[in-house]
Amino acid sequence: MALAFGLLAGAPALQAEAPRRAGSAPRPKVIFVGWDGADWQLLDRLMKEGRLPNLSAIVAGGRTWDLHTFEPMASPLIWTTIATGRTPIDHGVADFQEIDPKSRTRIPISGRSRKVPALWNVASAKGLKVGIVGWWATWPAEKVNGFFVSDRAAPVLFDPQLLAKSQAIAWPEGLADGVRLVLKREWNPPYEEVGKALRVSRAEFDASVAAGRDLKDPITGYRKILAATRVHATLALGLYEKERPDLTMVYFQGTDEIGHVAGRYALPKLPQVTAEDSRKFRDAVDAIYVETDRILGQFREKAGRDGATLVVASDHGFKWGSDRPATSSGVQFDTAFLWHRDPGMLAAEGPAIVPSKGRAAASVFDLAPTLCRLLGLPPDPAFEGKALGGLAPAALPPAAAAAGWEKTATVERLLVRDLDETEKKAAEEFTKKLVALGYLTGSEASAVDGRPANRAGTETAGSFQNLGTFLRSRQKYEESLALYRKALEVNPRSATAWMNTSITLFHLERWTESDAALLSALQYGYSEPEAAVYRRVSTYMKRIEARPAVRKELIRCLRSVVSAYPQNDRYGASLGKALFEDQQCAESQALFSRIVARKPADIEALNLMALTSLCLDKTADARAWFRKSLAIDPNQPAVREASVQLERGGSSVR
């Protein structure tokens, strides 16, 4: 228990610092702080307002980059790329969940999905001391030269009561007791703390806590994010002070989750948000960033004292402007990824960083090579990125020769017994939170593996989809399509897998197959189906501009949609307009006639009845339809001008 209580009360360090030879150069040190979802759009405003003094100091004394990321912008994939320097295809962490090989139960993504060593494994193998706290997909904890607190101590997506019984959450193993003590101490911020950011009464606070709505409620959501942030900070700062590792990597999830929970309340106020909700919750996002900046200041003090290079980075940005979610992302689209945006942010300060006032561009693939250069570790020849410019040569260790990481380091994890009831409950809670934040739909969360037993694996439908989307973003459409097909093997009713299949087939100009897959997506419950159809129409129209013959494919597509959904007048109107533009006026008019019969005041349908009548040389009918349209809405200058021309005896409308 010395380790557990030492974390809080000053017990001896986990391992004694190796003695250095007299006159030897000190080892370079790096402290890497991850802020999920952070970007300069928000940070620049908060710095200008003077609310992020510590990040402002790093920017003033160091240098910054726009950090470009990749599709899909899913945190487990990108943070594992940052730690390994490899693509999701290579490193294997491809979803928020995986399938337990024995029970076939969906469980949170774990380090067991990772197929390659991470930076901390290589650093340990080369004799550096490391300290890792909360990194995505790192459970079970890994045996390293130093300390390792897995992401099972990231309570935004877990129930801390279950964590208290969880296996293998930290290394050395006795450290788990210290993690539990910190959880117990930091987990329930009182009303006085929450009330500094949210303008809610104590009665409202107490009622929300009693209801236990977790991330679905801005009060309990903010409280949990604040608690999780402080848990990681307490663990990382306390362990760093005792161990003084050469490489420290600590991850903060709340800077992203607060956007999903409360981003819609931020200023400027969205029309869909009530004035009262705006008053109560508009400062929630800013408050979490102010708190993480306060914590950053503590890391900055330690970095300055120890001569360490301090790096702050995110995996992607977030939509904070008018394009941000108007409601909780958990009840919006199929995935919260749609609220993420490119680029994220990167800032660095320290002896190995040449200060610069400009903001350069970098990639998430450049971080692992850069950290290797800062620490004197061998870069992997399989790296896609390269070490960034702006490093100070005099402060760098000798560059190491490239070496394959899989031959350089081994990955050894703590053993975990078979999935028990605690782990099953933790998996259920994790899934519920993914649904609440919009990363899963209810149908995806309840899906079972549809593959026959002899073909079953640990991959979810989501993992195949995410890998497919990654390849599709690189225009590798055939490879992408094969992965979407695998996703449908796992979950044949996955609306998103059908939609991704449709999009990829469209890129391959396999129009008929693409539109059939689109219909399958709609029939299996794809969210915002009308928007999906309009996107398809828009995509066809762009093709038609270059290749007019593609119009027949658009018409075929819309006929299939209207056949499947004959009562949807919007689909019917889209087909009617496409037919009119193709001079198939009789069929077009028949569609608009049905719409007008159901909706006599539909202005667009009335006007199209007039235009198709002209196309069919029924001038008197056209005059009558225009009159009906103008009687409902006289403020239509173009329609009024057309009507006047017809009344004067004209027979065409331009």
Task: Classify 436 as helix, strand or coil.
Answer: helix
Supply the pLDDT for residue 432: 60
Per-residue pLDDT reduced to its tens digit, 13-70: 444 344 444 444 578 999 999 999 999 999 999 999 999 999 999 999 999 999 999 9
Supply the pLDDT for residue 570: 93
Q: What share of the chain is helix, strand, coil (3-state, %, to 5)?
A: 55, 10, 35
Supply the pLDDT for residue 92: 95
Q: In this structure, are strands 247-252 and 170-171 parallel, antiparallel, or unpaired?
A: unpaired
DSSP letter string, 161-220? HHHTT-SS-EESTTHHHHHHHHHHHHS---HHHHTTTS---HHHHHHHHHHT-GGGSHHH
Supply the pLDDT for residue 426: 64
Domains of the chain: 2-9+31-408 (3.40.720.10)
The mean pLDDT of the chain is 88
3-class SS string, 537-587:
HHHHHHHHHHCHHHHHHHHHHHHHHHHHCCCCHHHHHHHHHHHHHCCCHHH
Confidence of residue 418 (pLDDT cuts 50, 70, 90): low
DSSP, res 60 = H
Per-residue pLDDT reduced to its tens digit, 419-436: 666 666 666 666 565 555
Please give the structure tokens belonging to residue 60: 């003033």
Q: Give the Å distances, CA to CA, from 487 to 70, 451, 452, 504, 527.
A: 20, 10, 14, 14, 18
Is residue 497 classed exposed, middle or buried when 0-12, 13-18 and 19+ CB atoms within 10 A define those classes?
buried
Supply the pLDDT for residue 649: 72
Supply the pLDDT for residue 102: 72
Supply the pLDDT for residue 10: 39
For the chain, what's the residue count?
654
Query: How far is residue 318's CA from residue 324's CA, in Å, rounded to a whole number?
Result: 8
Please give the structure tokens belonging to residue 93: 């962490």
DSSP, res 391 = B
Q: In this structure, are strands 170-171 and 146-149 parallel, antiparallel, or unpaired?
A: antiparallel
Supply the pLDDT for residue 108: 84
Residues 163-179 have a mean pLDDT of 85
Confidence of residue 563 (pLDDT cuts 50, 70, 90): very high
Per-residue pLDDT reduced to its tens digit, 454-513: 444 578 888 999 999 999 999 999 999 999 999 999 899 999 999 999 999 999 999 999
Supply the pLDDT for residue 33: 98
Per-residue pLDDT reduced to its tens digit, 236-249: 999 999 999 999 99
Best-predicted range by mean pLDDT (75-84, 101-110, 149-158, 184-193): 75-84
Supply the pLDDT for residue 646: 86
Residues 467, 500: contact at Cβ < 8 Å?
Answer: no
Supply the pLDDT for residue 417: 74
Supply the pLDDT for residue 647: 81
Confidence of residue 333 (pLDDT cuts 50, 70, 90): very low
Confidence of residue 1 (pLDDT cuts 50, 70, 90): very low
Query: How far is residue 236's CA from residue 149's CA, in Å, rounded to a whole number?
Result: 9
Supply the pLDDT for residue 289: 98
Confidence of residue 339 (pLDDT cuts 50, 70, 90): confident
Among 549, 550, 498, which residue's Cα sits nearest to residue 526? 498
Among 86, 113, 88, which residue's Cα sits nearest to residue 101? 113
Q: Check pLDDT > 50 for residue 335.
A: no
Task: Classify 317 as helix, strand or coil.
Answer: strand
Q: Check pLDDT > 90 for residue 371.
A: yes
